[in-house]
Amino acid sequence: MTVKYKTIKEIKKMISQKEISHKEIIQDVYKLVKENSNLNAFISLNEEKSLKKAENFDNNPSDCSLAGIPIAQKDLFCTKGLRTTCGSKILDNFIPPYTATVIENLENAGCISIGKTNMDEFAMGSSNETSHFGNVHNPWGDNLVPGGSSGGSASAIAAGIVPAASGTDTGGSIRQPASLCGITGIKPTYGRVSRWGMIAFASSLDQAGPMARTAEDCALLLNEMCSHDIKDTTSLDNEIPNFEDNLNNSLKGKKIGVVKDLDLSSLDKDVIEVYENSLKEFVSMGAELVDVSLPNLALSVPTYYVVAPAECSSNLSRFDGVKFGRRSKNPKSLEELYVQTRSEGFGDEVKRRILIGSYVLSAGYYDAYYKKAQQVRRLIKQDFDEAFLSVNVIMTPTTRGPAFDIGSKGSDPIQMYLEDLFTISANLAGLPAMSLPNGNIDNKPIGLQIIGNFLDESSILNFGHMYQTKTNWHMFSPEGVIQ
């Protein structure tokens, strides 16, 4: 009896039918972690405490919604007593004295946090090649990237080690690795999930969300992850629906926005074919396709690469070697302590973004870059507001192609930035968006992106779940179709 490749729903059933004990589940998960150590998906494990929590569930059965479900947590969430590195050398010894709200929510619902997943350093990257702890490998191919920045989370699910993981998404960091690893993941509406205890990258864009095998499992996780948190001033106090309620709603008459300004000419014809086949599938379920215009979409990547570095340069100023994390050895002065600690502790991509941020925020350039980008950000949001007057959801490919080889993007950072071409606009506008597997190209998975209106995660989950009742792309694993 194994939980390899099982969904949350299936594991819940195995538990309720007493086919497996809680302890056996966790033992099996650690066996799978060890068998897949070549993926480098985990930075730290939490074996002793996880086994203890499982034994507790065996001795005192719980009716919590996710009791005993193993979950991997992105190493960007603070976890009390468990090392939290954010993929960086500067935090390689950091053991937080508190736990992030979203992790606490999941653990209160019964989830067992089995370990912390590898990631691009401070979530800055789209291939998991910027981690201080080494590249993560994609289980779909020896030399393939898993995407990033939540690459360890995506890889661990795709390999069948865990049914669920947490991720964070600032410009596509849940959806892009979900696409490249053939799993399902959601970035919720900005403000739905508390950011307290999440190590900040770009505060007006960062949002945590669930990663799993299916839209249905994402709904189960999202039910527990969302909360109003007074410790996060941008946490929304709007009503949180039960995200399972509308999963099976009919799609008849529902409208899918197809972005007419989207330049698909640079994509392989296989990618376009996979995308168009998915749209046809939705039409066969009764949905209608409606052209929508997002004229400023092409400016979303340049807008992001002003706004995100600006916020990052400010947020990362807290890493100075004084109060926590790594400190350089034998600094002669306080100034030298700051400079040496940061220069030794940050990797090249993080430094590049801090420098860009300092540049666009500096006195002579603030209006030309930072203010200008914020104005374009409003134009992008207004385009979405207008589009959602006539459609329920908007669909695009999630990525420009399937997983690429480690090292293949060369040393030009802009080539990597363009990986997030289709995902960034949802972060700029604060909208919920999901990626789910919708095809295979050369035996590598690829995803479809479904963007929803503000606070309307229920619609994207509904479209996603209905798609997964009609297709089996989410059932594909690197070892073939899961039986």
Partner 1 sequence: MDKKTVTTISYLSRLKIDPEKEEKITNDLENIIKFVDQLNDAETSDIEPLTNPLEKTAKTRTDQVTAKNLKKELLEIGPSSNEDYFLVPRVVE
Segment 80 to 119, residues that bind partner 1, using CB under 8 A: 94-98
* Minimum CB distance to partner 1, residue 380 (Å): 9
Angle value at C-alpha 458, between 455 and 464, nearest 5 degrees: 125
Other Cβ atoms less than 10 A from the Cβ of 412: the count is 9
Q: Among 4, 377, 400, 474, which residue interacts with partner 1 (rule: CB under 8 A)?
A: 377
Q: Determine which one of 127, 150, 173, 194 is catalytic.
A: 173
Of 97 and 253, the one with the shorter C-beta distance to partner 1 is 97
Helix (H, G, I), strand (E, B) or coil at 80: coil
| Distance in angstroms (rounded) separating the CA atoms of residues 59 and 56 | 5
Binding mask 416-445 for partner 1 (x = CB under 8 A): -x----------xxxx--------------
CB of 339 to partner 1, least distance (A): 5
Query: Minimum CB separation from partner 1 for residue 126, in Å?
Result: 15
* Cα(418)–Cα(400) distance, integer angstroms: 9
When asked if residue 299 is in the footprint of partner 1 (CB under 8 A), the reply is: yes
Q: Minimum distance between the CB of residue 350 and partner 1, rounded to whole angstroms?
A: 10
- Residue 40, classed as helix, strand or coil, is coil
463 belongs to the binding site for partner 1 (CB under 8 A): no
Q: Checking phi first, is residue 40 left (phi over 0); if not, alpha (psi -120 to 50) or beta?
A: left
Which strands form 207-212's sheet, in the order they lie side by side? Answer: 42-45, 112-117, 70-74, 164-169, 207-212, 184-187, 433-441, 444-452, 393-397, 255-259, 288-292
Q: Based on CB atoms, which residue is closest to partner 1, 252 or 332?
A: 332
CA dihedral 363, 364, 370, 371 (to 10 degrees): 100
For the CB of residue 116, give the shortest distance to partner 1 in the complex, in Å.
17
SS (H, E, C) 331-362: CCCHHHHHHHHHHHHCCHHHHHHHHHHHHHHC
Stretch that binds partner 1, among 46-54, 143-151, 255-263, 295-303 (CB under 8 A): 295-303
Q: Which of 50, 127, 131, 149 is catalytic?
A: 149
Q: Which of 393, 384, 190 lies closest to 300, judged by CA?
A: 384
Question: What b/e readout covers 413-450, taking b as 16+ CB neighbours within 10 angstroms?
Answer: beebbebbbbbbbbbbbbbbbbbbbbbbeeebbbbbbb
When binding is defined by CB under 8 A, the residue of 145, 157, 159, 376 that contacts partner 1 is 376
Among 176, 223, 303, 423, binds partner 1 (CB under 8 A): 303
Known active-site residue 127? no
Q: Which of residues 148-167 bind partner 1 (CB under 8 A)?
A: none
What is d(CA 175, CA 169) in angstroms, rounded to the nearest whole number? Answer: 8
- 173 as an active site residue: the answer is yes
In 3D, which of 371, 382, 375 has the Cα closest to residue 431? 382
Decide: is 333 part of the binding site for partner 1 (CB under 8 A): yes
Q: How far is the CB of 420 from partner 1 (least distance, A)?
A: 13
* Minimal distance, residue 389 CB to partner 1, in Å: 18
Could you confirm whether 333 is annotated as catalytic? no
Nearer to partner 1, 13 or 371 (CB): 371
Cα–Cα distance between 70 and 154 in angstroms, integer? 14
The token pair that represents 258 in the structure block = 């197809």
Kindly identify the residues of this chain, within the stretch 345-374, that bind partner 1 according to CB under 8 A: 346, 348, 351-352, 354-360, 362, 369, 371-374
Restricting to residues 186-215, name those near partner 1 by CB under 8 A.
190-191, 204
Which of 333/483 has CB closer to partner 1? Answer: 333
* Active-site entry in 74, 187, 409, 444: 74
Residue of the chain from 219, 221, 222, 236 that contacts partner 1 (CB under 8 A): 236
Residue 17: Cβ within 10 Å count:
8
Nearer Cβ to partner 1 (363/389) = 363
Task: Show which residues are catalytic.
Answer: 74, 149, 173
